[in-house]
């Protein structure tokens, strides 16, 4: 396995990541985009599928590289992020849009967050603010349909990012508003972020989204499908950033339907109330409402299925040492369908990870099958 010094490569790239979208999304690859680019910049490909698009930052790299990008994610809230940043070529939110989106709506039919999530994630006034933003997004109607879909996607993007930054650990896996409420001495700076007004974050992320919109001269797409059900498979390159599972762990945060059920509910507001399991502490989805393509029990079979499905494409995988299956197992599986498999790794510090001091274990890895 080739070991790459991350910092040594930052000054030798011709793609600037300063204007890439920022996010607190779990597992985002934004910090290692320069390293990833270093290892793929000489590959020959024109069409690329980002199968588990997530924060869209890798799709954005591909778009910056002038490729025809297809972003896909099984979660609708992620799809809306891909819609706003990858498929969108020119639509932005103007000052009139922002003023409209931030106005007080007070519509009774938009009160789910206030009704079900009191004292779980945000203060009552913040819950009302979130419901108002959904009401405003739903009532936008002063544009043609092909423009309006991107305007709404950008508004959702700003809302999702605002919700993330104001969450302890940037996740929704636990009811922990008490971390904001407790009057204790704090040794970290997140408290100030948590208490910053929602509307200020919303405007910040609108501006950021607007600044990321561009046309790379190619047709790009955003899809909201299970990767296993996708009919189109003829891509030059497919990129997989798989959910990460560990041995001897509950893997609570590896199931994104649980970790981000709140954002997925906002993106599916019309269905959300019927999806809520009212017996759960933090109002998760009912068990039958499951958007996770992977679980720790069938993960090897899932990898095998995808490698076989996309065997005619170059296959690029982001992974982390210490996961299940192991790197060696993945290499063996990939070699069933690829002539050569290369691996590259760097030490990488993950937020809230106790293994950060372990340079041997805490490594980001990419596998490339050609």
Domain holding 64: CATH number? Answer: 3.40.50.150
Residue 26 falls inside a structural domain: yes
The count of structural domains within the chain is 2
Domain presence at residue 329: yes
Residues 224 and 209 in one domain: no
Does residue 251 sit within a domain?
no
Tokens of 224: 């909201």
- Same domain? For 130 and 267 the reply is yes
Are residue 77 and residue 139 in the same domain, yes or no? no
pLDDT over threshold 60, residue 363: yes
Confirm if 166 and 194 have CB atoms less than 8 A apart. Answer: yes
Confidence of residue 352 (pLDDT cuts 50, 70, 90): very low
Same domain? For 182 and 68 the reply is: no
Q: Which structure tokens are listed for 279?
A: 């017996």
The reply to whether 35 and 108 lie within a common domain is: no
- 132 with 277, same domain: the answer is yes
pLDDT score for 62: 96
Rounded to 5 degrees, what are φ and ψ at 314? -65, 140
**107-147 confidence digits (pLDDT tens):** 889 999 999 999 999 999 999 999 999 999 999 999 999 99
- CA dist., res. 138 & res. 255, Å (int): 28
Residues 114 and 227 in one domain: no
306 and 233 co-located in one domain: yes
pTM of the model: 0.91
25-52 burial, b at 16+ Cβ within 10 Å, e below that, comes to bbbbbbebbbbbbbbbeeeebebbbbbb
Same domain? For 55 and 120 the reply is no
Range of the domain at 52: 1-89+214-243+292-370
Cβ-Cβ contacts under 8 Å for 12 (sequence gap 6 or more): 38
Same domain as 130, residue 52: no
Shared domain for 209 and 225, answered yes or no, is no
Does some domain include residue 250? no
């Amino acid at each position: 396995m080739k070991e790459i010094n991350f910092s040594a490569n930052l000054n030798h790239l011709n793609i600037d990541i300063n204007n890439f979208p920022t996010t607190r999304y779990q597992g985002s690859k934004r910090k290692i985009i320069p390293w990833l680019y270093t290892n793929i910049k000489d590959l020959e490909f024109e069409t690329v599928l980002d199968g588990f698009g997530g924060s869209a930052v890798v799709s954005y790299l591909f778009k910056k590289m002038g490729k025809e990008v297809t972003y896909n994610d099984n979660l609708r809230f992620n799809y809306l992020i891909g819609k706003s940043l990858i498929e969108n070529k020119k639509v932005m939110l103007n000052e009139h849009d922002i003023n409209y989106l931030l106005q007080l709506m007070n519509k009774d039919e938009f009160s789910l967050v206030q009704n079900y999530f009191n004292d779980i994630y945000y203060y009552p006034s913040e819950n009302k603010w979130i419901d108002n933003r959904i009401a405003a997004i739903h009532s936008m109607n002063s544009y043609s349909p092909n423009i309006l879909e991107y305007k709404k996607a950008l508004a959702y993007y700003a809302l999702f990012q605002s919700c993330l930054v104001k969450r302890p650990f940037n996740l929704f896996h636990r009811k922990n508003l008490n971390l904001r409420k407790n009057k204790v001495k704090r040794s970290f700076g997140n408290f100030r972020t948590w208490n910053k007004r929602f509307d200020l974050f919303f405007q910040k992320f609108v501006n950021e989204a607007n600044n990321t919109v561009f046309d790379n001269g190619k047709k790009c797409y955003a899809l909201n499908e299970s990767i296993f059900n996708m009919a189109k498979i003829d891509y030059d390159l497919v990129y997989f950033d798989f959910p990460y599972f560990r041995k001897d762990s509950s893997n609570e945060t590896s199931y994104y339907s649980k970790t981000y059920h709140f954002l997925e509910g906002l993106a599916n507001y019309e269905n959300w109330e019927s999806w809520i399991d009212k017996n759960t502490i933090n109002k998760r989805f009912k068990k039958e409402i499951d958007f996770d393509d992977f679980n720790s029990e069938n993960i090897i079979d899932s990898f095998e299925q995808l490698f076989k499905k996309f065997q005619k494409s170059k296959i690029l995988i982001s992974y982390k040492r210490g996961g299940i299956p192991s790197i060696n197992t993945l290499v063996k599986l990939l070699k069933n369908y690829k002539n050569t498999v290369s691996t590259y790794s760097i030490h990488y510090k993950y937020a809230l990870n106790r293994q950060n001091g372990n340079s041997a274990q805490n490594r980001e890895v990419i596998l490339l099958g050609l």
